């Protein structure tokens, strides 16, 4: 089995829920506290590839920084990538990755289905 990583924000209830599910499965996994240890641009590109997602789709539009700085702006996918690097809090969460695949685990219970696939 490939190593599992959860990209975790401890202040997020959905992220906490996904982490608890991983703990309950007994699976071996790593926790990436992406706010304290932000992803590099290459790491984020790789994660987006695993998610099969464009950067703009990973942006949390409910965050104050989005509303204050980016709401209504037309940015390219490359610019959204830069925004996510500059403001990791804008990254949708939680994300669970295993091997060459990843999901945004919302709701957290999708972790169970993901691990079984």
For 46-61, the pLDDT digits (tens) are 999 999 999 999 999 9
Compute CA distances 43 → 11, 12, 38, 85, whole Å.
22, 22, 9, 10
Rounded to the nearest integer, the mean pLDDT of the chain is 95
Choosing from 5, 8, 10, 12, the catalytic residue is 12
Note the pLDDT of residue 117.
Answer: 79
- 116 flagged as catalytic: no
Sequence-distant (6+) residues with CB within 8 A of 36 are none
Q: At what angle do helices 41-51 and 77-86 cross, to 10 degrees?
A: 120
What's the mean pLDDT in 87-95?
Answer: 97
Residue 116 pLDDT grade (very low, low, confident, very high; cuts 50, 70, 90): confident
Note the pLDDT of residue 2.
Answer: 63
With beta carbons less than 8 A apart as the criterion, state whether 77 and 55 touch.
Answer: yes
Maximum C-alpha span of the chain: 43
Q: Where do the domains of the chain lie? A: 4-116
Q: What is the CATH number of domain 4-116?
A: 3.40.30.10
What's the mean pLDDT in 106-114?
Answer: 94
pLDDT digits (tens, 9 = 90+) for 34-43: 999 999 999 9
Distance CA 115, CA 98 (A): 8
What's the mean pLDDT in 5-31?
Answer: 95
Note the pLDDT of residue 1.
Answer: 46
Distance CA 16, CA 80 (A): 26
């Amino acid at each position: 089995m490939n190593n599992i990583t959860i990209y975790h924000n401890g202040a997020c209830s959905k992220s906490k829920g996904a982490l608890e599910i991983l703990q309950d499965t007994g699976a071996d996994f790593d926790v990436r506290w992406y706010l304290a240890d932000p992803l590099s641009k290459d790491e984020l590109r790789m994660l987006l590839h695993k998610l099969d997602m464009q950067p703009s789709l990973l942006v949390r539009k409910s965050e104050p920084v989005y509303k204050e700085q980016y709401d209504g702006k037309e940015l390219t996918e490359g610019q959204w990538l830069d925004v996510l690097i500059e403001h990791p809090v804008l990254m949708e969460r939680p994300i669970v990755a295993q091997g060459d695949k990843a999901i945004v685990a919302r709701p957290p219970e999708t972790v169970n289905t993901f691990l079984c696939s």
